[in-house]
Structure 1
Amino acid sequence: MTRVSGRIVRPGTVIEGHVDVDGPTIAAVTAGPADSADFVLPGFVDLHCHGGGGHRFTTGDPDQARAAADFHLRHGTTTVLASLVSSPYALMRDATRAYVPLVSEGVLAGVHYEGPYLSHTRCGAQNPEFLRDPAPDELTELIDLSAGTLRMVTLAPELPGALAAVEQLTRSGVLAALGHTDATYEQTLAGVAAGATVGTHLFNGMRPPHHREPGPVIALLDSAPVLCELIADGIHLHPGMLRFAARAAGPDRSALVTDAMDAAGMPDGRYDLGGQGVEVTDRVARLTRDGSIAGSTLTMDAALRNAVGAGIPLEDAAAMAATTPARALGLRGQVGAIEAGLRADLVVLGPDLSVKRVMRRGAWI
């Protein structure tokens, strides 16, 4: 039995107490005086990550994927989706097959396709060469070969066939996310009505709000079933906009994500994203061809610190980093909170919210 003591962050509250761990499972959580001022949080759950530590999820290389997951694990991310970018069908197929064993092993929680069914107008750092309209046969083949590994697909609801694709994904148990979209308010609501339940990195890669055409941002914020991803790096979102969005949606509908690329944790320099050159300068990644922001160099621990720095209470930020995304993935009874019976995934943060220790499945990393 292992005991972890400190200020335990649970949904809606922070208590002084102890977490008892038996094997890979949380055995008990008890309140009481602790001899540590550290914070104990549930392991972070990142729904949107392309790589880190010099390694990529985007190429379909299992060794690269394992190393990227390990890099983020050291920053407290105990559950991660491997996000691809817009790619040819063959790469999507091969990467999905390659990641099935990693999902079975527990290294990854699944695969996320960010594209290729996205708007040319709002493609951002997505490679326009690979963008296309949703194809039912293509999706059927990918869903079937994934054997449950495919967990989320981001698409633009205004594209021909997109609403049917949302319905197809939903029937198959795959999260449909709306993003990289030039949709109107009404087109976005049609996507939600068809079954979409996630807004991919809210504000970024979307038609901006206007008082006479609210667009996708307002439609997603105002739709009760939708979880809104937020990139809290201080670059994608101003801290005031981050705080506003988190308050508007609430911690039960807001999820911190990294959208990290392989440059996370690495020096400034030249990198690649989906076959496009990226220049990283002072933490900011931009496409060399047009200066578009190209993912991030963020880690989840930094996202949490930035959220708290923006004025979001720690218990809400912890829910946004763990509880809410875990629920979206259907893992509420396994991870995402510090409760007896759940998997012992814990992050111990110092008083300054820097990572001190990470536990996954009851073992210290």
Structure 2
Amino acid sequence: MRQLLTGARIFTGETILDGRSLLVGDGRILDIVAPGRTLPDIDRTVALEAGDLLAPGFIDIQVNGGGGVLFNERPTLEATLAIAAAHRRFGTTGLLPTIITDTPECHRAAAEAAVAAVAQPGSGVLGIHFEGPFISPQRVGAHDPRFVRAPDGADLDFIGGLPGRMPGGRVLLTLAPECVEDAALSRLMAAGVILSVGHTMASAERVVEAFDLGVRGVTHLYNAMPGIANRQPGPAGAALADGRPWCGLIADGHHVHPLMMRAALAARPRGRMMLVTDAMPPTGTDADRFELNGRTIYRRDGRLVLADGTLAGADLDMATAVRNAGTLIGLPLEESLRMASLYPAEFLGMAGERGRIAPGWRADLVLLRPDLTVKGTWVEGEWRAS
């Protein structure tokens, strides 16, 4: 069905256009239409509010849960779809359900769920993110240290085999590069796995070596890694000084001080910082606690914490992250939106498909009110109100 979306402003991924309409059909963007142009064969015209903004749908590469569901507790197809549905209310049209450090059985079940979800049209599931278990025992954060380990041959076969079973999907693995040998890193990347540095005690030199090998990302910059010091810059210092990797940023005002977020953006090339939520089950609910590997996580004053105050994921959705990028960091709206859509798409190798509004690109869109709350989304051209 060919639909013409009219009335709202359009953010293309580069600039905001006024007075244009958007033609979509068969799950794709067909054209950006100038005023006064006559179009034949329109099945439906949708009048949008003049003050609203059409933007590329948000892409979140780090989502542990939502809608009351924790992926580690329910590594099933139904859980991945429930998590995606919960985050769609906040403008996220594509995400990577994220399984943190757990048993091999849990990881394998999560992988099967993701393979099935990617194959389901309109699911909004883009693949899977393994955050661990190949991480530093000194930087586990809320991960269960019982399950932290180095990869063996069976792990490499399993993870390396997933991209071939997930056409169009992505497999992201967060690891500590000091805990994984170069040969294993290269083997995984050759199989199509995207690697990211995180939960690490690595030296800056070791992190740069990982970037040299082709590691593409840094997971939740500053968090679960040593702080920057003048003689020991560590992973975060390496990330700020090296223009190659994409860095995820949890812009909730709790994980990273706003000044440090501004410092990161000032240091890094444009296009290499992404907003992530690191969201947990309370997103989209009024729950005040949940269980993670037998431990209670409390929702307190916008934070998710263990009893000792350790941060355990974030009480954040992507629309709030976009708003915070403006209010806490001082970014222009266009750049905040790119950090939630275009840049993660580029990190995942999905540029040309997602992250822009242009002819031929997927009709994955978010409709924002003037206050940047979400009115609704289109995924593959199908509308759903928030």
Aligned residue identity for 2:133:
P
Q: RMSD value over aligned CA atoms?
A: 1.8
Distance 1:35 1:82, change over 3 A: closer
Question: What displacement does 1:361 show?
Answer: 0.9
Any residues of structure 2 matched to 1:175-186 within 5 Å, and which? 175-186=194-205
1:2-21 alignment, distance < 5 Å: 2-16=4-18, 17-21=20-24
Which residue does 2:208 correspond to in 1?
Answer: 189
Match of 1:138 in 2: 155
Distance 2:258 2:147 in 1: 33
Equivalence for 1:55: 69
Q: Distance in 1 between matches of 2:336 and 2:239?
A: 20
Structure 2 letter corresponding to 1:80 = L
| CA–CA distance in structure 1, aligned partners of residues 269 and 7 of structure 2 | 29
CA distance in 2, matches of 1:313, 1:340: 25
Q: What SS does structure 1 have at the residue aligned with 2:62?
A: coil
Q: Deviations over 1:143-191 (max 9, x none)?
A: 32561355100000111x3433321221011100000011111111111
Which residue pairs with 2:84 in the alignment?
A: 69
Contact conserved, 2:87 with 2:283, CA < 8 A, in 1? no
- From 111, 126, 130, the counterpart of 1:113: 130
Deviates more, 1:293-302 or 1:137-146: 137-146
Please give the residue correspondences for 1:22-171 in structure 2 after superposition, counting only pairs within 5 Å.
22-30=25-33, 36-58=50-72, 59-106=74-121, 107=123, 108-144=125-161, 147-148=165-166, 151-159=171-179, 161-171=180-190
**Relative to structure 1, is the Cα distance of residues 357 and 191 closer, same or farther in structure 2, using a 3 angstrom cutoff?**
same
User: In the alignment, which residue of structure 2 is the partner of 1:224?
Assistant: 243
The aligned amino acid for 2:316 is L
Rate the CA distance shift 1:189–1:79 in 2: closer, same or farther, 3 A. same
Stretch deviating more after TM superposition (272-281 or 120-129): 272-281
Contact 2:100–2:131 (Cα < 8 Å) also in 1: yes
TM-score calculated relative to the size of structure 1: 0.94
Larger radius of gyration: 2
- Any conservation in 2 of the 1:242–1:307 contact (CA below 8 Å)? no
Distance across 1 between alignment mates of 2:13 and 2:283: 29
Deviations 1:39-88 (A, max 9, x none): 21100000111011101222312222211110101111001001000011
Q: CA deviation at 1:35?
A: 6.6
Kindly provide the CA deviation profile for residues 203-229 of structure 1, in whole angstroms up to 9, marking residues without a partner as x.
000111001111111211222220000
Of 272, 292, 303, 1:253 maps to: 272
Q: Answer yes or no: is the 8 Å Cα contact 1:271–1:277 preserved in 2.
A: yes
CA distance in 2, matches of 1:132, 1:90: 14
Pairwise CA distance, 1:32: 5.3
1:296 has 2:314 as partner: yes
Residue 93 of structure 1 and its aligned partner are, at CA, apart by: 1.1
User: Secondary structure of the equivalent of 1:302?
Assistant: helix
Give the aligned residue type for 1:103.
V
Superimposed CA distance per residue, residues 209-265 of structure 1 (whole angstroms, 9 cap, x where no aligned partner):
001111111211222220000011111112222222223224410110000011222
Partner Cα distance (2:195, 2:293) in 1? 21
Distance 1:174 1:115, change over 3 A: same
| Unaligned stretches of 5+ residues in structure 2 | 37-47
d(CA) in 2 for partners of 1:145 and 1:243? 36
Secondary structure of the 1:84 match is: strand
SS across alignment from 1:28: strand
The aligned residue for residue 221 of structure 2 is: 202
Are the aligned partners of 1:346 and 1:359 in contact in 2 as well (CA < 8 Å)?
Answer: yes
Contact 2:77–2:117 under 8 Å retained in 1: yes
Distance in 1 between residues matched to 2:77 and 2:292, nearest whole Å: 17
| Other structure's SS at 1:337 match | coil
SS of alignment partner, residue 340 of structure 1: coil
Paired-residue identity, %? 37
| Alignment correspondent of 2:40 | none
